[in-house]
Structure 1
Amino acid sequence: MKKILLVCLIAIISLSVSAQTQVPENSSSPIYFKAGKLGVGTSSPEHGKVEIAGDGLDQGLTIYNGIGSTYRMYRIGDIAYLTRAGDNNKGFSITATGYVGLGNVNNTSFQLAIANGLYLGGGAITRAGTLQINGTGADNGLTLWTANGDMTARLWIDAAKDLMYLTKGAGSTNGICIARNGSVGIGTEVTGTHKLAVEGTIGAREIKVETTAWADFVFNDDYHLIGLMELESFIQTNNHLPDIPSEEKVLEEGVSLGKMDAKLLQKIEELTLYVIDLSKSVETLKTENQNLQHEIENLKK
């Protein structure tokens, strides 16, 4: 009796190890169990504990919550999908080359392609955009860096200061900041009333300043050009030219390039008129001097 039981036990173990068992199924894609592996649609499962062979939306894995929400994993051709309800717009895909697409995007060129936007961080999504990063501070934004880490660039927001930054490293003055009203600071967070504030020098091959007024009115017939004696008196009293701000005011308030250029041109044009007037006076003196010379020569005769 013991020998008979031992023979039966050996036979059962042999079947479970070497034999292939088909689970009865009312489906054209039967389920197979072989060597500890489950095959769906294949009688020779080899890749993983569970292998599903099939091509198409209904030839994959479906997770159903019983109240209408379904999630599916399936393959169509060389692309694998994980989606909600089999809708390619609501999930992601992976190509045979390892490219990943989020949403209904045909990604054949990038490691990751996103169809409708990416959101990073916590809290509610309150703004539209292709990429959303929710956070405040240099460590809660977008960082770019070189392979050795000696050069980093950061894009971030400081909610307390109400400023956005694009900087080298995490230093708030090591780049550009943008205020809520659109004012831009370079090397500074304080823009004052300016649209652009720069802490440091600006290098440019050319700067164009647009203005609504120029100084050619100096050449109008009704322009009052003060006399040189009056001008001398003004300079001695104020230590600067008329219509030109004093040194004290410039140091306190700065200068407007457009307005200052117009004022300087006004002084150049006034100087031109002074020179013309002096030239006429010199010519008159020359004529009078020549006449006197003729009279003297006549008297000598």
Structure 2
Amino acid sequence: MKRLILSLALLLTYVVANAQNSNPWPTTGSVGIGTSTPTLGLLHISGLSYDLLSLSAGAGYPIQMNAYTNADFRIVQRSNSPITFWTNTIERLRINSNGMVSIGTPIPSSALTLGGTTNTNPNTGAEQDYAGESFTFQNLVGGSSAYALGNIKMTQPNGYYADRGDMVFSLGNGGGAISERMRIKASGYVGIGTNNPTMPLSVNGTIRSKEVVVEASPWPDYVFKKAYLLTPLSEVKTYIAKNRHLPGLPSASEVEKDGLKLGEINKLLTKKIEELTLYLIDAEKKLNDQTKKNESQEQRLKAMEAKVELLFKKVN
């Protein structure tokens, strides 16, 4: 009977103590779940299951973790294994032991790596984006509407294998819609205003610049060498009559099809100016020779007129 009374007294003491303290956990030491010897922190969870800690909340309520401190809030991986974040049972983000971050791929290769689903290899249809391999810049308006301001993405044009892609830069043009502004192809060619650059830099529009330096070699000063032979003007005239453009210069149809190469066209124009200068020098020489000849003939004619006049006077 005494033992029963003692047991009831101890039980009552425990109930009263816990009724006054809403926290049933010990105030000192460590708590172990799945282990009887907790040593790794105040709460030590150990087990063979993937789901060592599961959190749930009522419908419509978010699950959040709060830190009430002015110090750092840390998630620490103390081994060489990565930290991964999953949604819908699929890995979305990984931080490896070197601090490299990957999104959409378990293989980070730089400070930040974006990965996505492999497309058709090769792509035999229309151009398609590499899913997940893009950055989008948004502006949130009123807490409910988001306008896309710009986007950088990787795409796989027709004929590309899955080991290459074009980098496309797009910007918003009002109303949330974005349009492609610039593209860097896998070949390294850059297109502005065009998605099919055919040169290291292709621009579909006007370029404004204070100065453009064009390397052009060889420069056509060889025209002034003595060994250089000018085409006779009679042959140039025949060529123009037949082809409707100067020899050595592109025709109108060629320019309309292929455009103008600034370095090459400036070399050709300089060559034509130098040839024209030689033609003018030659024409001036011939003109001067003819002028001297005319002056000589005029002097002889005047001398002959003087002799005739003298003879006429003697006869009379």
TM-score (norm 1): 0.65
Q: Which residue of 2 aligns with 1:82?
A: 75
Q: Which residue of 2 aligns with 1:118?
A: 101
Does the aligned pair in 2 maintain the 1:209–1:258 contact within 8 Å?
Answer: yes
1:64 aligns to 2:46 (yes or no): yes
Shift of 1:276: 0.5
Structure 1 residues 41 and 269: alpha-carbon distance in aligned structure 2, compared to 1, 3 A threshold: same
Distance 1:279 1:129, change over 3 A: same
* CA deviations over 1:133-175 (Å, ceiling 9, x no partner): 2237388410123455556111111235532211114988621
Aligned equivalents of 1:171 and 1:80: distance in 2? 38
> What's 1:16 paired with?
18
Residue aligning to 2:170? 167
Structure 1 residue 117: Cα displacement: 2.2
Kindly provide the CA deviation profile for residues 62-104 of structure 1, in whole angstroms up to 9, marking residues without a partner as x: 333369xx99xxxxx94454333x3599669xxxxxxxxx788
Q: Kindly state the Cα deviation for residue 228 of structure 1 after the two structures are TM-superposed.
A: 1.5
CA distance in 2, matches of 1:284, 1:166: 68
Sequence identity percentage = 25
Equivalent residues in 2 for 1:214-253, closer than 5 Å:
214-253=219-258
For structure 2, list consecutive stretches of 5 or more residues without a partner in the other structure.
30-38, 54-69, 85-94, 117-127, 159-164, 307-316
Which has the larger strand fraction?
1
* 2:155 is equivalent to residue 158 of structure 1: yes
RMSD: 3.9
CA distance in 1, matches of 2:300, 2:214: 59
Find the aligned partners of 1:15 and 1:293 in 2 and give their Cα distance. Answer: 143
Partner Cα separation in structure 2 for residue 216 and residue 171 of structure 1: 54
Which runs of structure 2 are paired with 1:23-62 in the superposition (5 Å)?
34-41=21-28, 58-62=40-44
Query: TM-score, with normalisation over the residues of structure 2?
Result: 0.63
Paired residue for 2:311? none
Q: Which residue of 1 aligns with 2:302?
A: 297
> Are 1:173 and 1:188, in contact at CA under 8 Å, matched by a contact in 2?
no
Residue 137 of structure 1 pairs with residue 129 of structure 2: yes
Change (3 A) 1:139 1:124: closer
Q: Once the 2 structures are TM-superposed, how far is the Cα of residue 38 of structure 1 from its aligned partner?
A: 2.3
Paired with 2:184 and 2:177, the residues of 1 have a C-alpha distance of: 14
Distance change in 2, residues 1:156/1:171 (3 Å): farther
Structure possessing the higher relative contact order (Cα contacts under 8 Å, 6 or more residues apart): 2
* SS of equivalent to 2:277: helix
Distance 1:151 1:279, change over 3 A: farther
- Are positions 1:282 and 2:284 aligned together? no
Report the CA distance shift for 1:139/1:154 in structure 2 as closer, same or farther (over 3 A): farther
Question: Unaligned stretches of 5+ in structure 1?
Answer: 19-33, 43-56, 72-76, 93-101, 105-114
Whether the 8 Å contact between 1:187 and 1:200 is mirrored in structure 2 is yes
Matched, 1:179 2:154: no
Distance in 1 (alpha carbons) for counterparts of 2:220 and 2:27 = 89
